[in-house]
Homo-oligomer: A and B are copies of this chain.
Amino acid sequence: MKLTIHVTLKPGVLDPQGKAIEHALSGLGFEGVHGARVGKLIELDVDEGTSDADLDAMCRKLLANTVIENYRIQRA
C-alpha cells in the first residue's frame, strides 16, 4: 500500500530555508514572490494491513517533529 505523508512547518515557525528560496528567486529576476515555505514529502510503501494508529505513531515518533511541524497522511 502506497501513501504520502506531507510534513509542513506550523504557522509562525521561522523557515530560513523558505526565506533563502524567496531571496534566491528574486535574485534570479522572478518578481512577485511573496513567500516560500519548505516541507517534506515522504512516500511510504507499507503492508495493506497497516493501521491508522500505526501510521500516526510512525509520524509522531520519527517522521515529524510535532513541536514545530504538522503532518497529513494521504493514501494513494
What is A's interface to B at a CB cutoff of 8 Å?
Answer: 6-8, 18, 21, 24-25, 28, 30-47, 49-50, 54, 57-58, 61-63
The answer to whether B38 and A45 touch across the interface, beta carbons within 8 angstroms, is no
Q: Which residues of B contact A25 (CB under 8 A)?
A: 58, 62
Copies per complex of this chain: 2
Q: Which of B36, B41, B42, B43 contacts A7 (CB 8 A)?
A: B41
Given known contacts A62-B21, A62-B24, A63-B21, is B32 in contact with A36 (CB within 8 Å)?
Answer: no
> What residues of chain B lie closer than 8 Å to A31, measured between beta carbons?
47
Complex Cα distance, B59 from A28, in Å, reads 12
Given A33-B46, A40-B41, residue A61 in contact with residue B21 (CB < 8 A): no
